[in-house]
Chain A
C-alpha cells in the first residue's frame, strides 16, 4: 500500500529553538496533507490542512505563526515548530490524501520533546 514517511521520528530540542518535521508521500502524489498533534493519552487533534502550492488552512486555536506549514511539492509537506516551548512537546502525525484511491494514509509520527 501507499507509504507516508515522517522525519525525524524523534527529536529533542531546546526551548526557544525551531524544529522542522517532514512528511513525504513516497509512492503517490498528495495535493493535500494534514497535520495532527496528539498529547499523551489523548486523541489526534487536527492542526492544519496543508495544500500544495497555497497557504495552509489552520484549525481554530492553532497559531499559524508558531506552526509554519509549507507544502512546496506534491510529495512533501513540512511543519516547523517555531520558538518551541516544553508545552509543545507532543506526538505530531501527518496524513496524506491519495487522490487515485481516495484514501488517506498516515505517517509514522514524530515525537517532539522540548527541554
Chain B
C-alpha cells in the first residue's frame, strides 16, 4: 500500500521568511496530492492540492511542486505570517480510490 513520509517534523521560521515542507510517497499510481493545515483540536483544512499531470501549482503565498519521477512533492509558503503557525499534513491519494494516506505532519512555527 501507499506510504507517505514527511519532513521536517518541526520547522521554525522568522516572520517574512519562506517555509518548505517535503513529502515522499511510495505508490507510483497515486495521482492526487493535497496539503492540509490543522489547528489544534480542529478539522484539517485543505490549503492547496496538485494532480499528477501538473508539476507546480501556486495560490498567492502558497505553492506546491510535484516530481513524479522522484515521487516527492513539496509545500512552499512565502512571506510567512504568525497565523501560518499550525500543523501541516501532506497526503497521497492512490489512483482509483478516495483514500487519503497522510504524512506524519510538520509543526510550523512562525516567529514574530
A53 to chain B, nearest CB (A): 16
Give B29-71 as 1s and 0s: 1 = Cβ < 8 Å from A's Cβ atoms. Answer: 0000000000001111000000000000000000000000000
Report the nearest B residue to A31, measured CB to CB.
B98
B73 contacts the other chain (Cβ, under 8 Å)?
A: no
In the bound complex, what is the Cα–Cα distance between A91 and B41 (angstroms)?
8
In the bound complex, what is the Cα–Cα distance between A49 and B101 (angstroms)?
12
Give B80-110 as 1s and 0s: 1 = Cβ < 8 Å from A's Cβ atoms. Answer: 0000000001000000001111111100000
**Chain A interface: which size bin?**
10 to 19
Option from A42, A43, A109 in Cβ contact (under 8 Å) with B43: A109
Check B99 against A109 for contact (C-beta < 8 Å).
no
Give B9-46 as 1s and 0s: 1 = Cβ < 8 Å from A's Cβ atoms. Answer: 00000000000000000000000000000000111100
8 tightest A-B CB contacts, nearest first = A106-B43, A97-B98, A44-B102, A43-B102, A43-B104, A43-B105, A108-B43, A109-B43
Q: Give me 30 A-to-B residue pairs in the complex whose CB atoms sit less than 8 angstroms apart, sorted by A's number.
A: A32-B98, A34-B98, A36-B102, A42-B104, A42-B105, A43-B89, A43-B103, A43-B104, A43-B105, A44-B89, A44-B102, A46-B99, A46-B100, A46-B101, A46-B102, A49-B98, A49-B99, A91-B41, A93-B43, A93-B44, A104-B98, A104-B100, A106-B43, A106-B44, A107-B43, A108-B43, A109-B41, A109-B42, A109-B43, A111-B41
Interface residues of B (CB under 8 A from A): 41-44, 89, 98-105
